[in-house]
Chains A and B, each alone.
Chain A
Amino acid sequence: MQLALFIIFGALALGGALNLLYQRHPIHSALSLVVVMMSLAVLYWSLGAEFLAAAQVIVYSGAIMVLFVFVIMLLNAGEEHRTNGSRAAYAVGIPGAAAIFCLLSFVFLSERSALMTSNIGGDLSNAADNIADVSAMLFTRQLLPFEVTSILILVAILGAVVLARKEQ
């Protein structure tokens, strides 16, 4: 069950990501990104991270991407032209992608023993309810990072308000 979900939605996420790059119209790209985020949410859910999955759907695909689509519609953005790509993208992008790949494989290989014992997909049966654990962790041991992130978002909101009121 877990493997089938992983194959289906992993393929969907990859297909959405490729479609995001190949589409020329911004709204099609934005909708492909929504597909990617929804498939990621299903993958989170199949790993037992229910709250993360719900937050992914509500925050990313339900709020942030709607705003993206909203802005694209409002600006009436047309089709983009194909270019040959910038030289900086080649110079930084390929080493960067390679570095991320190496880092991720290093982390997974070094944590292999811990990953082997974890109960992947065992939470699909609704047996465990980990929302209480997640929130207890978030508001006790991770309190400082959590609050700092909140203040970061607050600063961004204030910045948006200042920018919006500038003309008066």
Chain B
Amino acid sequence: MSHLTNIEAFLLLSVLKVAVVLVITLMAVAYTVLLERKLLGRIQNRWGPSRVGPFGLLQPLVDGAKLFLKEDMMPLAVERPLFILAPILALGCALVSIAVVPFGAVTRVHGVDLFQISNVNIGLLVILGITSIGVYGITLSGWSSNNKYSLLGSLRSTAQVISYELALGLSLVGVVLRAQSLNLRVIVDSQSAHGMLSWNFFGGLQFVGFFIYLMAAYAETNRAPFDLPEAETELVAGYNTEYSSMKFAMFFMSEYANMITVSCLATLLFFGGASSPFGHLIPALGGAIVQAILPVFWFVAKVFGFLFLYIWVRATLPRFRYDQLMGFGWKFLLPLAMANIIATSFILAMRG
């Protein structure tokens, strides 16, 4: 690559990076669905998908082919442009936010960081902003479907997401106070001094913030036990009742992509991102390539742990009632998040 100019190398590597990350994210989305079905099956004492390929490993590909080939039905009374726009918006916002996530240690080739698509000063705010735009996908899908169940589902979802966004944002302030930056790379670096002991969850005493974040994030992604927008016993299927074929698949993929983003963010903010839990206790084995890939392995392992937790919670907990949901968000999580901010800033001020 030595004959390329800097600009050419930058463009080539950036396009390559975006393509690789996009493909890996989409594959991860597909296989998270399989993971969920397998785990739910095991937890409920049955097999889960097991027929397509060894251990059912080809199931996501077959599912994708099925959804592609299905007839794309469009009801007559829908609000046409918005009906089509809604799933695109939902999936687009879900996939874009992965762009600011640093998933490995800084590894520069020709001045381009290999393991992060773009390093932005306000990376954390970018993710929060994209999440808040993603609400439009669900809101518009319910309204444009011209169906009362869809509308009720999307109204529930919008109210829930707006309410829990406050607690979510406030729970992250403690982390930002400790790192003194909104740059995700800086936040990760602030936790990499002594391995596990300097992670925000253990050493930073941000476990209250972490649990608030976790609960608010489950509500943000409309997952159990906060999956009221698609409560099938009350609302048929919620906001995506009228959608079929690939449009339905886009909503489905956006839900799982959001799960992955939320898990990435939890890893970055509270569990040290791509840093090893053992710090510098393990000697640097292998060559430069192994040392570059090892942080990515830690990152993926932590994200996998959070996805596992998501599925475990779904299999274990029953759904909230709607007034319980709102009361929990506004009367419990929000004051607790504020108390966490005050306590954290007090301790930081005491230490100097």
Interface residues of A (CB under 8 A from B): 27, 31, 34, 38, 50-51, 53-55, 57-58, 61-63, 66-67, 69-70, 73-74, 126, 129, 131-132
Contact = CB atoms under 8 A, between A and B. Distances in A.
Contacts of A58: 125, 128-129, 132, 169
A57 B159 contact: no
Given A58-B128, A131-B182, A66 B122 contact: no
A50 B122 contact: yes
Nearest to B186: A129
Contacts of B135: 62, 66
A50 B121 contact: yes
Interface in B141-157: 142-143, 151, 154-155
B107 interface: no
Interface string B154-196: 1100110010010001000000000011110000000000000
B139 A66 contact: yes
Contacts of B139: 66, 69-70, 73
B159 A62 contact: no
A132 B158 CA distance: 33
Q: 7 nearest interchain CB pairs?
A: A62-B132, A54-B125, A57-B129, A50-B122, A73-B143, A58-B129, A54-B122
28 contacts: A27-B82, A31-B82, A50-B121, A50-B125, A51-B125, A54-B122, A54-B128, A54-B129, A58-B129, A61-B132, A62-B128, A62-B131, A62-B133, A62-B165, A66-B135, A66-B136, A66-B139, A66-B162, A69-B136, A69-B139, A69-B140, A70-B139, A70-B155, A73-B154, A74-B155, A126-B121, A131-B181, A132-B180
Contacts of A31: 82, 136, 140
Nearest to A66: B135
Nearest to B169: A58
Contact of A73 (B129, B151, B183): B151
A34 B224 CA distance: 30
A55 B131 CA distance: 13
Interface of B, secondary structure class, is helix
Interface in B311-327: none
B126 interface: yes
Contacts of B154: 73
Contacts of A51: 122, 125
Interface residues of B, number: 30
Given A50-B121, A58-B125, A63 B136 contact: no
B121 A27 contact: no
Given A70-B139, A70-B155, A73-B143, A131 B122 contact: yes
A61 B140 CA distance: 14
Contacts of A131: 121-122, 181-182
A63 B165 contact: yes
B120 to A, nearest CB: 7
Nearest to A74: B155
Given A70-B139, A70-B159, A62 B129 contact: yes
B100 to A, nearest CB: 12
Contacts of B129: 54, 57-58, 62
Q: By CB atoms of chain A within 10 A, which of B119, B131, B136, B169 has the most? A: B136
Nearest to A34: B136
A63 B133 CA distance: 9
Contacts of A126: 119-121
Contacts of B82: 27, 31
Contacts of B155: 70, 73-74
Contacts of A34: 136
Contacts of B183: 129
A27 B143 contact: yes
Contacts of A67: 162
